[in-house]
C-alpha cells in the first residue's frame, strides 16, 4: 500500500525562483497537511485541507507561500519568489479526519535549498 508520496525529494534553486512542491496523499484520506521543519522552529504546520478545502492557513509564513488541492489525490505548495530563509525540509501528511485512531501519515519530505 503506497504511503504519502512527495516530489521532488531534493530541490536546489536560486533565490527569486518559483518553487513547487508536490504531494499525493494516501488514497481515501480526506485531510492533507503541509509542514515545514527547521532547526530553529522544529516541525510547524503551514496549512491543512479537509475534503480539498483549506481549513487553516494561519501557519503560512507570507504571501509568497500558497497551497492548492485541486482534487483528493494531489496538492501543491508553491513559493514565489523563493528566499534563502525558505530553506527547510517540507513534509506533507494525510489522514482520515474523523478519528485520532487514524493518525497522520507523513511523506519522506522535500529538502529545499535556496541559494
Partner 1 sequence: DQQVKQNSPSLSVQEGRISILNCDYTNSMFDYFLWYKKYPAEGPTFLISISSIKDKNEDGRFTVFLNKSAKHLSLHIVPSQPGDSAVYFCAAVRLYGGSQGNLIFGKGTKLSVKP
Residues that bind partner 1 (CB under 8 A): 4, 31, 33, 42-45, 48, 50, 55-56, 59, 91, 93, 95, 97-100, 103-109
Report, in Å, the least distance between residue 97 CB and partner 1.
Answer: 5
* Matching residue, cell 485541507: 49
CA atoms of 97 and 93, how far apart (whole Å): 12
- Residue 80 to residues 66, 70, 75, 115, Cα–Cα distance (Å): 8, 19, 16, 14
Q: 48 or 65, CB closer to partner 1?
A: 48
In this complex, which beta carbon is closest to partner 1, that of residue 42 or of residue 70? 42
Cα torsion 58, 60, 66, 71 to 10°: value is -60
Q: Please report how close the Cβ of residue 32 comes to partner 1 at its closest, in angstroms.
A: 11
For the bound state, the minimum distance from the C-beta of residue 34 to partner 1, rounded and expressed in Å, comes to 12
CB 83 within 8 A of CB 114: yes
Q: Please, which residue, 9 or 85, has the CB nearer to partner 1? A: 9
Amino acid at each position: 500500500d503506497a504511503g504519502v508520496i512527495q516530489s521532488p525529494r531534493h530541490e536546489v534553486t536560486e533565490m527569486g525562483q518559483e518553487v513547487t512542491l508536490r504531494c499525493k496523499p494516501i488514497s481515501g484520506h480526506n485531510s492533507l497537511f503541509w509542514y515545514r521543519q527547521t532547526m530553529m522552529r522544529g516541525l510547524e504546520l503551514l496549512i491543512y485541507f479537509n475534503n480539498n478545502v483549506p481549513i487553516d492557513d494561519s501557519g503560512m509564513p507570507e504571501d509568497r507561500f500558497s497551497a492548492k488541492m485541486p482534487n483528493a489525490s494531489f496538492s501543491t505548495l508553491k513559493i514565489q519568489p523563493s528566499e534563502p530563509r525558505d530553506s527547510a525540509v517540507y513534509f506533507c501528511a494525510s489522514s482520515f479526519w474523523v478519528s485520532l485512531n487514524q493518525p497522520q501519515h507523513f511523506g519522506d519530505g522535500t529538502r529545499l535549498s535556496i541559494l
